[in-house]
Amino acid sequence: MATALKNLNEYSKNSFADMSEKRFGIVVAEWHTEITNALSNGAIETLLKHGVQRENIYLNTVPGSFELTLGAQLIAQSEEIDAVICLGVVIKGDTKHDDYINHAVAQGLTTVSLKYNKPVSFGLVTTNDLQQALDRAGGKHGNKGTEAAAAAIHMLSF
């Protein structure tokens, strides 16, 4: 599971289908915006690199990562949207709050994906501290927004 073992930032662009007519919803949580903005930029850059048209990328924000599930569902239910990319950062605190959020989001996004039969990417960065999050938002461990977008593109090519 470790980032060092599998880094989707290094995927091969040519192995995916044509994305020029696909529509993507991106849902971004507003906690830790310095990090979620970097994730969002990574996701958008990746979609554009794969030929997605800028006007076919719909960016939406939710208050915190816990709300990613409902945000994803509200977008996924639209027949015009082909895939949803969810981005957030949950940093461990003194309590188990992070555990509850992370599990709820993982479960919730899986449910939405299966309910609507659409890729719903889990771009939730879950870390012990801020530095680990920065490392995964354009730092030494790549950009998890890029990976989440690549995963959505990959699944649309399935």
Q: Give the shortest CB-25-to-ligand DLZ separation in angstroms.
A: 18
DSSP 26-45: EEEESTTHHHHHHHHHHHHH
Q: Give the shortest CB-145-to-ligand DLZ separation in angstroms.
A: 14
Residue 67's alpha-carbon distances to 71, 83, 103, 124, 146, in angstroms, are 6, 18, 13, 12, 21
Among 27, 44, 52, 101, binds ligand DLZ (CB under 6 A): 101
Q: Which of 94, 85, 91, 96 is nearest to 122 (CA)?
A: 85
List the interface residues with ligand DLZ, window 25-64 (CB under 6 A).
29, 31, 63-64
Calpha distance 7→30 (Å, rounded):
25
By CB under 6 A, residue 156 contacts ligand DLZ: no
By CB under 6 A, residue 97 contacts ligand DLZ: yes
Calpha distance 128→19 (Å, rounded):
35
Annotated catalytic residue 154: no
Q: Give the shortest CB-32-to-ligand DLZ separation in angstroms.
A: 6
Determine contact, residues 9/144, Cβ cutoff 8 Å. no
Q: Give the shortest CB-72-to-ligand DLZ separation in angstroms.
A: 14
Q: Indicate which residue of 32, 50, 97, 103 is catalytic.
A: 97
Q: Which is nearer to ligand DLZ, 46 or 102 (CB)?
A: 102
Determine contact, residues 124/98, Cβ cutoff 8 Å. no
The residues of the shown chain that bind ligand DLZ, judged by CB under 6 A, are: 29, 31, 63-67, 88-91, 93, 97, 101
What amino acid positions are annotated as catalytic residues? Answer: 97
